Structure 1
Amino acid sequence: MSGLRLFSTASGVTEVMPRLAEVEAEVQDLIEANMQAMLGVRFLASEYSTGPVHGGRIDSLGIDENGAPVVVEFKRGTDAGVIHQGLYYMSWLMDHKAEFRHLVRDRLGATAAAQVLWSAPRLICVAGDFTRYDVHAVREHRRSIDLVRYRFFGTEHIGLETVASVSGRPVGPGACRRRRAADVQGGTRADTDKAMAELAAAVDEVLLGLGDDITKVANRTYLAYQRLRNFACVCPPRQTKLLVYLKADPKEVDLVPGFTRDVTGLGHHGTGDLEVQLRTERDLERAQELFRFSYAVA
């Protein structure tokens, strides 16, 4: 990993040396077996054939927590072709939507298949390393691409580091404001609506400002802010409050009635078990530590 050194303190201090996988399948098998925990993606299929015409096999297919289709490509070391290969498979995927929906329906059910988010397909490349040319290249594409560097440490640990993360269809910071503009024109609570729209824009600015590896995805019912996984989901303003759902563990937070709530097991839009209710800019200031905590654990 870039600049990361890991030490064991079991008996004194001993450095655990990083290593690459012996073969590509070593890292692929591990991540496929734990894809939701490691990448925030529900695993669908391995070595998925694109048929005799295209003549290829997608390393892994999945669907993320927002319903977006995900192509995952693995390379043991550094491979200049991994991005282009992945983009080729993404193009195939967009031309075979019915086949993908059928796969989702078989694995996850009809409801999941009906909610596939085709506006935000993703490519995740997991490799031993990437060059600066790779990092530059992903910023020139119009697709959502994550470059993830891995390293094994000893026999019991693996590290994942996001080298670059680019959103193919960014939703501008003013999206929430524009969404509410029509309501303001036709509603009777213009002042309240305007205040909520301004609060939503401020939340957007704070969340995006937490790091340069954040992408934003517009789902049908919320805006998701993600690294590899969602760390915050913001629902459209409702009357006098804005609801934000975080991946922070509610058990590790001092819950405040009217401000934070444990929604584990309760139905709600977005992902995350900690609900934060924002009504004023002051609430946003109080929430920023929780935002940073959720960002750190995502």
Structure 2
Amino acid sequence: MAELMLFRRDADGRDVELSGSTVALEVELQRRVEAGLEQMLGIRFLASEYATGPWHRGRIDTLGLDENNSPVVIEFKRGSDSGVLSQAVSYLTWLESAHHEFEALVRSMLGAEAAASVDWRRPRMVCIAAGFSHHDRVAVQRLPERIDLVRYRVFEGDLLGLLLVDSSPGLSTTTSSRRSRVTAVGSVAAEPETAPAAGAGLVPACLRDLYAELDEALTAWGEVEVAQLRHYIAYRRLVNVASVIFRPKHEAILVYLRLDPDSVELEEGFTRDVRRIGHLGTGDLEVRIVSAAGLEKAAPLIRRAFEAS
């Protein structure tokens, strides 16, 4: 299993590895993640310890809505628990039967616009635990549900580390032509031979060749999920790292990167700070690509966004 390693430089300039540990109480981990849910996982908080009613007889640790407007169920385990996947499937089953209840919760917490934008095609489960067994990781790739397995460690200095160790894109509940691709840590999820190309249905003919090169650049970073949504294509790990939008009239592709615009020397017509500008997709830095040369120029920014994710 992939290990999360953290180092601190001592007074002599040597790197000393910090030893990670687990939390004493599960609720300690839950409250810590909930407090920074949007920053850590790109998920807006809705509810904690949410009861699923007499039929499902459960209590969901955390409910949320992610940056792509997908409903999210989060479960925390202080240690390793072989029953986490069966619990995940059970709660996602409840979610499928509780559309109106969930949307009412979104409306009360985030407003009517957010409730109207809930995307029921890709509900998601995030399991955060100290570790997962080999059987858990194999099972995730066989299940039709969309599930992320996230390993945590706490370190001295009040540091918290989260590592995506495996992920399944799940099966879409819509028949629209699209593909979700995941390269998980240590494994590659197979795709049907009949799966359409990434972005099928969204990519204008005039931009297909350029997008094919961009797609290759965005998926060259290991564990990357590609999800075609209604208006854009998201490239994500635990959170969206890049969102791709097409502008066929201008023969341009706009890439919104999860990168601080203040750390970039902005160039008119190429990069733009969109923190205060409404746009589809997620990301604070807009990169405008109109040619292969522009894509090559954007490559260092793409690399920085993925290295920081």
CA distance in 1, matches of 2:100, 2:205: 41
1:11, distance to aligned residue in structure 2 (A): 7.9
Q: Would you say 1:293 and 2:295 are equivalent positions?
A: no
* TM-score, with structure 1 as normaliser: 0.90
SS for the counterpart of 1:75 is strand
- 1:262 aligns with 273
- 1:286 maps to a residue whose letter is K
- 1:201 aligns with 212
- 1:216 maps to a residue whose letter is V
Equivalent pair of 1:177/1:197 in contact (CA under 8 Å): no
- 2:169 maps to a residue whose letter is S
The aligned runs of 1:222-233 (5 Å cut-off) are 222-233=232-243
- 1:26 aligns with 28
SS for the counterpart of 2:64 is strand
- 1:189 aligns with none
Give a deviation string over 1:31-57, Cα, whole Å, max 9, x none: 011111111111111110000121110
1:266, distance to aligned residue in structure 2 (A): 0.6
- 1:235 aligns with 245
Equivalent pair of 2:198/2:226 in contact (CA under 8 Å): no
Which residue among 151, 157, 160 is the counterpart of 1:158? 160
CA distance in 2, matches of 1:269, 1:179: 14
CA distance in 1, matches of 2:265, 2:134: 43
Which segment is superposed worse, 233-242 or 8-17? Answer: 8-17
- 2:191 aligns with none
Which segment is superposed worse, 257-266 or 66-75? Answer: 257-266
Relative distance call for 1:55 and 1:3 in structure 2 (3 A) is closer
- 2:139 maps to a residue whose letter is A
CA distance in 1, matches of 2:163, 2:71: 21
* TM-score, with structure 2 as normaliser: 0.87
Equivalent pair of 2:46/2:105 in contact (CA under 8 Å): yes
1:17, distance to aligned residue in structure 2 (A): 2.2
CA distance in 2, matches of 1:176, 1:18: 40
Give a deviation string over 1:72-118, Cα, whole Å, max 9, x none: 01101111111110111011101111100000000000000000011
CA distance in 1, matches of 2:26, 2:169: 27
CA distance in 1, matches of 2:202, 2:232: 12
Equivalent pair of 2:206/2:248 in contact (CA under 8 Å): no
Q: Would you say 1:219 and 2:229 are equivalent positions?
A: yes
Relative distance call for 1:177 and 1:93 in structure 2 (3 A) is closer
CA distance in 2, matches of 1:76, 1:10: 34
1:3, distance to aligned residue in structure 2 (A): 5.5
Give a deviation string over 1:202-248, Cα, whole Å, max 9, x none: 2222212221x211222221111111111100013422111110111
- 1:75 aligns with 77
The count of aligned residue pairs is 285
1:177, distance to aligned residue in structure 2 (A): 4.8
- 2:184 aligns with none
Which segment is superposed worse, 230-239 or 77-86? Answer: 230-239
CA distance in 1, matches of 2:89, 2:243: 27
1:7, distance to aligned residue in structure 2 (A): 2.9
Percent identity over paired residues = 44
CA distance in 2, matches of 1:10, 1:53: 59
